[in-house]
Amino acid sequence: SYVLTQPPSVSVAPGQTATISCGGNNIGSNVVHWYQQKPGQAPVLVVYHDSARPSGISERFSGSNSGNTATLTITSVAAADEADYYCQVWDSSIESPAVFGGGTKLTVL
Amino acid sequence: QVQLVQSGAEVKKPGASVKVSCQASGYTFNSFGVSWVRQAPGQGLAWMGYINTQTGDTNYAQNLRGRVTMTRDTSTRTAYMELRSLTSDDTAVYFCARCPTPSCYLKAFDRWGQGTVVTVSS
């Protein structure tokens, strides 16, 4: 089945830019969605279709996808952005069409 | 406003079954599919399957086929996920999530339920 690889953790100082990668074989040919999950809460969609933002999501969240890597970028990081972030794609595999990355813990220093 | 409200926590013995409900409000139920995602303690998200709320068609993760059944009741705007032959590995928080079309394929999960804790223990 399709595998998505995320770094376990990313740390960034307040006000700086955080980038979270999501690696997969030719992931650029897939549509990537990103979710934010804070402790004890349900996930929240922050970017869909590679780079689109749902209504109510800050413009500080953006996404890109090309080649073997998709990227979530968060500018002007604030303490409230500290959370786990998951990428997700739909694969043509019959084993598990929807696949999540392992998640990245974003720590705001 | 859009809401997905799930049933309460469950404690089950190994070998038993559990059925979790997800009641929708604030939108046209059969215009949006429902996926189920689970999260074991301290682990990441794992997709379980989805149901097309318009047709009732389902698509399950291969590792759960034969043990999971997803259904819906359009009259009560409720989706259900039943998991059978439970083991301790099924201990997790179970989430329902809405897709922006009746079929979830290729779509993002744009709204989520609050989660249901299922504990499997003897």
Q: Which residues contact A92 (CB under 8 A, 6 or more apart)?
A: none
Confidence (pLDDT) at A92? 75
Best of A6, A93, A100 to disrupt the B interface (most B CBs within 10 Å) is A100
> Among partner residues B37, B46, B105, which is closest to A90 by beta-carbon distance?
B105
Question: Cβ separation of A33 and B108 shorter than 8 Å?
Answer: yes
pLDDT, tens digit (0-9, with 9 covering 90-100), for A6-42: 999 999 999 999 999 999 999 999 999 999 999 999 9
Whose CA is closest to B12, among B114, B78, B65, B84?
Answer: B84
CB pair distance less than 8 Å for B61 and A45 = no
Neighbours of B83 (CB within 10 A): 24
pLDDT at A93 over 90: no
List CB contacts of A41: < 8 A, sequence separation 6 or more. none
Single out the residue of A82, A59, A85, A89 nearest to residue A72, CA to CA.
Answer: A85
Two tokens at A2? 């399709």
- Contact state of A43 with B95 under an 8 Å Cβ cutoff: yes
Average pLDDT across chain A, whole number: 95
| pLDDT, position A29 | 92
Nearest to B110 among A45, A101, A103 (CB): A45
Q: What is the reported pLDDT for A91? A: 85
pLDDT along chain B (122 residues), means of 10: 97 98 95 97 96 94 94 96 98 97 92 98 95
Q: Among partner residues A31, A54, A100, which is closest to B45 by beta-carbon distance?
A: A100
The 10s digit of each residue's pLDDT in A48-57 is: 999 999 999 9
Per the CB < 8 Å rule, is A48 touching B110?
yes
How many angstroms separate the CA atoms of B99 and A25, rounded?
25
pLDDT on residue A95: 65
Distance CA A32, CA A66 (A): 10
Q: Is A35 in contact with B45 (Cβ distance < 8 A)?
A: yes
Whether residue A94 has pLDDT greater than 70? no
